[in-house]
Homo-oligomer: A and B are copies of this chain.
């Protein structure tokens, strides 16, 4: 691959000049600019991004580090698509670190990404006081959080109104006549878990329904524990007639359990889940779900990050997106 030097030689100018036209420094005389452009074209030259990155931070070919808790979760896939979409349109590129909820892996990725000189990070912190992320922020790295914020630290954040989303879902269930509504929550220490819980309680209270701790069970936010906790709920002496599941993995697990037991949805048990999936209509019956705009979350977070990189001292922003209740057939009609 050809270098600046090659272009300079061919155009009969210095590398400095070539660099200037590349970075559209408009001091360059039109005439020489054309010569350089011609040489670039002829040599099919593209700047070496590694050298650019080593030299300076003021490029617009950014490299973005993405720390994702679980790439198998379709919600994060949507987020990734959104980030990638925005990054791509802005001449940037993303390195993915999928840390599988493993703090050690998270730490190592942070180190690697730092030494790759990423221009900034987009992360879903593994918990509210994630020390590694906190350190990153305090070190002044450009960061935006998605899905979950941080405690005691100001940081850009893009997420969804969880409480409102769950409120709508539970209200929907209540409107359909359910009064005993189970809740399989996510991991106890996640902010989203609390917010979703709050939405559940808000709805139950508003309609004067009993909040029975027996039918509120916390899961590990994954498929297996979703299946297991649902089984638990179903085996209760006085089981719920409807279940709210706090994320898509839990929902899928719950469906597994319900199918395995030959229960009919919604006749025997109704279900609404947090997180929609693009194949919700492929389920039988089609799943009613709280849709998070994952793609949009991704795009916005990437936009915020690039802003932050360009202007490190702009004030911290929180973007709260709305959810949408996708009413299909899993709750009755």
Bound-complex Cα distance A49 to B72 (A): 29
Which chain B residue shows the least CB distance to A44?
A: B111
Asked if A281 is at the interface of the complex by the 8 Å CB criterion, the answer is yes
A113 CA / B109 CA spacing, docked (Å): 20
Nearest neighbor of A108 in chain B, beta-carbon distance: B88
User: Which stretch (A18-26, A200-208, A254-262) binds chain B?
Assistant: A254-262
Check B93 against A93 for contact (C-beta < 8 Å): no
Residues of B within 8 A of A49 (CB): 112, 115-117
Complex CA gap A111/B91 in Å reads 11
Q: Which residues of B contact A117 (CB under 8 A)?
A: 48-50
Residue of B nearest to A70 (CB): B81
CA distance A314 to B301 in the complex (A): 43
The docked-state distance in angstroms from the alpha carbon of A1 to that of B284 is 54
Q: Which of A252, A256, A265, A282 has the most CB of B within 10 A?
A: A282
Residues of B within 8 A of A50 (CB): 50, 53-54, 115-117
A253 in contact (CB, < 8 A): yes
Stretch of A94-102, A159-167, A305-313, A316-324 at the chain-chain interface: A94-102
Asked if B259 and A279 sit within 8 Å, CB to CB, the answer is no
Is B54 a contact of A81 with CB atoms below 8 Å?
A: no
Contact B278 A255 (CB under 8 A): no
Identify which of residues 49-105 in chain A touch chain B, using a CB-to-CB cut-off of 8 Å: 49-51, 53-54, 61, 63, 71-72, 77, 80-81, 84, 88, 91, 93-98, 105
User: Among B105, B108, B114, B223, which residue has its beta carbon within 8 angstroms of that of A278?
Assistant: B223
Q: Determine if B114 and A1 form an interchain contact, defined as CB atoms under 8 angstroms apart.
A: yes
State the CA gap A49–B114 with chains docked (Å): 9
The answer for the CA separation of A138 and B109 in the assembled complex, in Å, is 33
Task: Judge whether A266 is part of the interface by a CB distance below 8 angstroms.
Answer: no
Q: A47 at interface (Cβ–Cβ under 8 A)? A: yes
Min CB distance A226 to B, Å, is 10
- A14 at the B interface (CB under 8 A): no
Residue of B nearest to A99 (CB): B88
**A63 — which chain B residues lie within 8 A by C-beta?**
116
Give chain B residues whose Cβ lies under 8 Å from the Cβ of A285. Answer: 259, 284
**Quick one: closest B residue to A52, CB to CB?**
B115
Determine which of B96, B115, B259 lies in contact with A46 in the assembled complex, contact meaning CB atoms within 8 Å: B115
User: For residue A253, which residues in chain B have a CB less than 8 angstroms away from its CB?
Assistant: 282
The chain B residue sitting closest to A251, CB to CB, is B282
- Asked whether A236 is an interface residue with its Cβ less than 8 Å from the other chain, the reply is no
Q: Does A27 sit at the interface, judged by CB under 8 A?
A: no
List chain B residues, Cβ under 8 A from A80.
Answer: 71, 96, 98
Pairs of residues from A and B, 7 with the lowest C-beta to C-beta distance, nearest first? A255-B282, A284-B284, A252-B279, A252-B282, A256-B281, A49-B115, A50-B117
26 contacts between A and B (CB under 8 A): A47-B115, A48-B54, A48-B117, A49-B112, A49-B115, A50-B53, A50-B54, A50-B115, A51-B54, A63-B116, A71-B77, A71-B80, A72-B81, A80-B96, A84-B96, A93-B97, A94-B95, A95-B95, A96-B96, A223-B278, A252-B282, A255-B283, A256-B282, A259-B281, A259-B284, A284-B284
